[in-house]
Amino acid sequence: MLQVDDIRAGYDRLEILQGVSLSVAPRQIVGVIGPNGAGKSTLLKTIFGYIRPFSGRIALRGEILNGYRPDKVMRQRVGFVAQANGLFAEMTIQENLLLGGYSIGNTSAVRHAMEEVYERFPLFRERRRQLAGSLSGGEQRLLAIARSLIIKPELLLLDEPSAALAPRFIDDVYATLRKLNAQGIAMLVVEQNTGVILDVADRVFVLEMGTNAFDGTPAELLADDRIRRLYLGSEAA
């Protein structure tokens, strides 16, 4: 569904991604791990169109996305949940969800999608007039995920969905992601929490200093001594 070939991208002339390739098949969950500063967020921002790649190719269902801006990428049914949620704390839950549909413009489609989101997350219907900033950290992460569903994505890009959450909220977030995936949404998930992503991913890519360092199944990653030592350390069971 998503094919990234040898992309180079960065900020101004500074090249952060120095030839990165990866792919996501329909219905797959694909993880991206790697040290801080490796370029994981830059990779997601490039796929979503916040950053224009210097070279290389990003294709979705065979259609080249290079140069598409985020609203156009969203209309191709690609959703994005940013590292810092990207919620508006001073706006209500309902207003935040409505913003998820800005790229569609068609209000009846947005209303229909809102209804589906409220069915999936009854808590957000009950509290729709509350400010997003009044939610707990875990609830805010779920709201950011809920908002990404308004465009009915076939592919979701998620930047560290477990970051800064207590274990029980990480479980909530990943239970939600698993359900969405079971309903057919493919996912490209950047994670610092290697254990949690190895548990759900069909495939894992390791990014080091802007380039691919490993690509394989979670089982293959666990069998690779260097990679396992670096990314699982004492976490390894």
Ligand X SMILES: Nc1ncnc2c1ncn2[C@@H]1O[C@H](COP(=O)(O)OP(=O)(O)O)[C@@H](O)[C@H]1O
With binding defined as CB under 6 A, does residue 88 bind ligand X? Answer: no
Q: Alpha carbon of 103 to those of 86, 178, 196, 199: distances in Å?
A: 16, 26, 32, 33
Starting at the edge strand found earlier in the chain, the sheet holding 155-159 runs: 78-81, 155-159, 186-190, 29-33, 203-208, 211-216
With binding defined as CB under 6 A, does residue 183 bind ligand X? Answer: no
How near is the Cβ of 86 to ligand X at its closest, in Å?
A: 15
How near is the Cβ of 125 to ligand X at its closest, in Å?
A: 34
With binding defined as CB under 5 A, does residue 194 bind Mg ion? Answer: no
With binding defined as CB under 6 A, does residue 67 bind ligand X? Answer: no
How near is the Cβ of 3 to ligand X at its closest, in Å?
A: 20
With binding defined as CB under 6 A, does residue 36 bind ligand X? Answer: yes
Kindly compute the dihedral angle of the four CA atoms of residues 90, 96, 102, 107, in this order, to the nearest 10 degrees: -120
Q: How many CA atoms lie within 13 A of 116 on its CB side?
A: 14
Nearer to Mg ion, 14 or 237 (CB): 14
Among Mg ion, ligand X, none, residue 38 binds (CB under 5-8 Å by kind) = ligand X
Q: Enumerate residues 197-236 that contact ligand X by CB under 6 A.
A: none
Q: Alpha carbon of 136 to those of 126, 132, 140, 151, 162: distances in Å?
A: 15, 9, 6, 24, 14
How near is the Cβ of 210 to ligand X at its closest, in Å?
A: 7
Q: Alpha carbon of 6 to those of 30, 55, 123, 147: distances in Å?
A: 17, 8, 42, 31
With binding defined as CB under 5 A, does residue 193 bind Mg ion? Answer: no
With binding defined as CB under 5 A, does residue 181 bind Mg ion? Answer: no
Of 207, 204, 208, residue with least CA distance to 196: 204
Both structure tokens of 112: 């229909």
Stretch that binds Mg ion, among 38-46, 71-79, 85-93, 95-103 (CB under 5 A): 38-46
With binding defined as CB under 5 A, does residue 162 bind Mg ion? Answer: no
Residues engaged in binding ligand X (CB under 6 A): 11, 16, 34, 36-42
